[in-house]
Amino acid sequence: MNLPTELKQALNAQIGMEFQASYSYLSMAAYFEANSWDGFASWMSMQSDEEREHAMKFYTYLLDRGADIELPALEAPVHQFSSPLAVFESSLEQEKKVTAAINNLYKIAHDSADYATVSFLKWFVDEQVEEEKNVSDMIEKIKRAGENPDALMMLDTLAGNRGPEEE
């Protein structure tokens, strides 16, 4: 079964959204690197790689379904932040937008009775719960650390110990 046009367009748009997220996380990694937060930089760099993997899952799926790839334009990401907390808050905002986009994709696939896409999207629905949780946890920890430099340094070290995600 060919992909319905609306679904094809939305899946192509999602490739762009995932690459945009990857680009944003890379910019956040650069901010942390430039300000000697090596652990946070590593966390963000790993997240940037993950987002590229997400984009490529959509890319491969579209090709597997015989659909054309139409990569959308990307925007320049924000590159200046006021604090580590501001970076993670910006990250959470971004993840919430991605979650809304995935839910919308799921709805389109379901309404189109394209159950192969519904099945494909289930991984992303679960992944977004994890992504929002990881960022929210970090925000809570940074808030708890407050202005205490030792506590923030410990969090930075902790963030640097993040391992690759298991699938």
- Record the tokens describing residue 118, joined without a space: 């519904």
Q: How far is the CB of 147 from ligand FEO (least distance, A)?
A: 29
Taking residues 98 to 137 in sequence order and writing x for each that binds ligand FEO by CB under 6 A, - otherwise, the string is: x--------------------------------x------
Q: How far is the CB of 86 from ligand FEO (least distance, A)?
A: 18
Exposure string over 117-147, b if 16+ CB within 10 A, otherwise e: bbebbeebeebbeebbebbeebbebbeebee
For ligand FEO (CB under 6 A), the number of binding residues is: 7
Identity of the residue, 41 or 102, whose beta carbon is nearer to ligand FEO in the bound complex: 102
Residue 37's CB is within 10 A of a number of other CB atoms, namely 22
Identity of the residue, 8 or 54, whose beta carbon is nearer to ligand FEO in the bound complex: 54
Say if residues 67 and 8 touch (Cβ distance below 8 Å).
Answer: yes
Identity of the residue, 131 or 156, whose beta carbon is nearer to ligand FEO in the bound complex: 131
Q: Give the span between the Cα atoms of 135 and 157, in whole angstroms.
A: 16
Q: Which residues contact 24 (CB under 8 A, 6 or more apart)?
A: 77, 78, 90, 91, 94
Contact flag: residue 54 with ligand FEO (CB under 6 A): yes
Question: What residues between 67 and 96 interact with ligand FEO by CB under 6 A?
Answer: 95
Binding ligand FEO by CB under 6 A: which of 21, 41, 44, 87? Answer: 21
Q: Give the span between the Cα atoms of 21 and 67, in whole angstroms.
A: 23
Which residues of the shown chain bind ligand FEO in the complex (CB under 6 A)? 18, 21, 51, 54, 95, 98, 131
